[in-house]
Amino acid sequence: MERRTRSSQSGLPVEPVYGPGALGDWDAASRLGEPGAYPYTRGVYPSMYTGRPWTMRQYAGFGTATESNARYKQLIANGTMGLSVAFDLPTQMGHDSDAPIASGEVGKVGVAIDSIEDMRVLFDGIPLGEVSTSMTINAPAAVLLLLYQLVAEEQGVPAAKLTGTIQNDVLKEYIARGTYIFPPRPSLRLISDIFKYCRAEIPRWNTISISGYHMAEAGATPAQEIAFTLADGIEYVRTAVAAGMDVDDFAPRLSFFFVARTTILEEVAKFRAARRIWARVMRETFGAKNPRSLMLRFHTQTAGVQLTAQQPEVNLVRVAVQGLGAVLGGTQSLHTNSYDEAIALPTDKSARLALRTQQVLAHETDVTATVDPFAGSYVVERMTDEIEELVTGLIGKVEELGGAVAAIEHGYQKGEIERSAYRIAQETDSGERVVVGVNRFQLDEEEPYEPLRVDPAIEAQQA
Which pLDDT does position 453 carry in this prediction?
Answer: 77
| pLDDT higher than 90, residue 130 | yes
| CATH number for 418 | 3.20.20.240
Establish if 40 belongs to a structural domain.
Answer: no
The answer to whether 231 and 223 are in contact (CB under 8 A) is: no
Could you tell me if residue 429 is inside a domain?
yes
Q: Rounded mean pLDDT of 127-137?
A: 97
- pLDDT (0 to 100) of residue 45: 98
Tally of structural domains, the chain = 1
Conformation bin of residue 156: beta by default, left when phi > 0, alpha when psi is -120 to 50:
left
User: Does residue 5 come out as left (phi exceeding 0), alpha (psi in the -120 to 50 range) or beta?
Assistant: beta
Gap between the Cα atoms of 441 and 171, Å rounded: 40
User: pLDDT, tens digit, for every residue of 261-284?
Assistant: 999 999 999 999 999 999 999 999
Single-letter code of the amino acid located at 236: Y
Whether the CB-CB separation of 334 and 54 falls below 8 Å is answered with yes
Domain-located, residue 381? yes
Amino acid identity, residue 5? T
Residue 447 clears pLDDT 90, i.e. is over it:
no
Mean pLDDT within 134-153: 98
Q: Is 275 within a domain?
A: yes
Within a domain: residue 1?
no
H helices present in 184-306, as ranges: 184-201, 213-218, 222-242, 247-250, 264-280
pLDDT at 461: 76
Q: Tell me, yes or no, whether 17 lies in a domain.
A: no
Give the pLDDT of residue 454. Answer: 74
- Identity of residue 442: Q
Query: Interhelix angle for 222-242 vs 412-430, to 10°?
Result: 160
Backbone CA torsion sign across 12, 17, 21, 25: positive
Residue 332 near residue 11 (C-beta atoms within 8 A): no
Q: How far apart are CA 311 and CA 347, in angstroms?
A: 17
Instruction: For residues 427 and 421, give the distance between their C-alpha atoms in angstroms, rounded to a whole number.
Output: 10
The band of 2, judged by pLDDT with boundaries at 50, 70 and 90, is low
**pLDDT tens, 393-425?**
999 999 999 999 999 999 999 999 999 999 999
Query: Tell me, what's the pLDDT at 459?
Result: 75
Burial of 412 (C-beta count, 10 Å sphere; 0-12/13-18/19+): buried
Encode burial over 312-350: b for 16+ CB neighbours within 10 A, e otherwise.
Answer: bebbbebbbbbbbbbbbbbbbbbbbbbbbbbbbbbbeeb
**Residue 422, pLDDT score:** 98
Instruction: Say if 22 falls within a structural domain.
Output: no
Angle made by CA atoms 359, 360, 366, in degrees to the nearest 5: 110
Residues counted in the chain: 463
Residue 229 has pLDDT above 80, yes or no: yes
Strands 205-206 and 208-211: unpaired
Start-to-end Cα distance in the chain: 66
Distance CA 230, CA 235 (A): 9
What is the amino acid identity at position 186? P
* Residue 442 in domain: no
Residue type, 451: P
* Boundaries of domain holding 366: 51-434+451-462
Of 168-172, 201-205, 237-241, 455-459, the one with minimum mean pLDDT is: 455-459
In angstroms, the CA 140 to CA 159 distance is: 19
